[in-house]
C-alpha cells in the first residue's frame, strides 16, 4: 500500500511499488540490486553476532581478527549449502 506523500521516504518507496507492480518483483530485485543488498545486510548481522567489538588494539591484529571471523562465517555458510549429486 503506498505511503502518504508527506511522510519521509515516501517518494522512493512509492516509486519502488509502482515498478514492482509494472515489471514484477523478480525483475525489480535485479534492476535495483535489492537481493544483493539484502544478503550483505544479513552477513553483517552475522558478523555482529560473533562480537560487537574488536579485542585487539593494533591495526594488523584487528585485521587478522576480522579475517578469522570471516573464515568462520564462510565455513558455516559452506556447511549449510547442500551438495547435490545425480542419482541413477
Q: Which of 46, 48, 66, 47 is nearest to 56 (CA)?
A: 66
pTM, two decimals, is: 0.54
Euclidean distance between CA atoms 27 and 31, whole angstroms = 6
Q: Which of 52, 69, 72 is nearest to 61 (CA)?
A: 69
Each residue's pLDDT tens digit, 2-11:
778 887 888 8
Query: Which residue carries 543488498 as its cell?
Result: 37
What is the structure's pLDDT at 46?
A: 85
Tell me the per-residue pLDDT of 19-46, one tens digit each, with 9 for 90 and over.
889 989 888 888 888 878 888 888 888 8
Per-residue pLDDT tens digits for 40-72:
888 888 888 888 888 889 999 999 999 999 999
pLDDT score at 2 = 77
Amino acid at each position: 500500500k503506498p505511503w502518504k506523500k508527506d511522510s519521509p521516504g515516501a517518494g522512493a518507496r512509492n516509486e519502488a511499488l509502482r515498478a514492482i507492480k509494472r515489471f514484477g518483483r523478480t525483475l525489480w530485485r535485479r534492476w535495483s540490486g535489492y537481493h544483493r543488498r539484502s544478503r550483505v545486510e544479513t552477513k553483517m548481522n552475522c558478523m555482529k553476532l560473533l562480537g560487537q567489538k574488536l579485542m585487539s588494539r593494533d591495526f594488523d591484529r584487528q585485521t587478522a581478527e576480522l579475517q578469522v571471523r570471516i573464515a568462520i562465517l564462510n565455513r558455516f555458510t559452506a556447511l549449510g549449502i547442500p551438495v547435490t549429486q545425480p542419482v541413477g
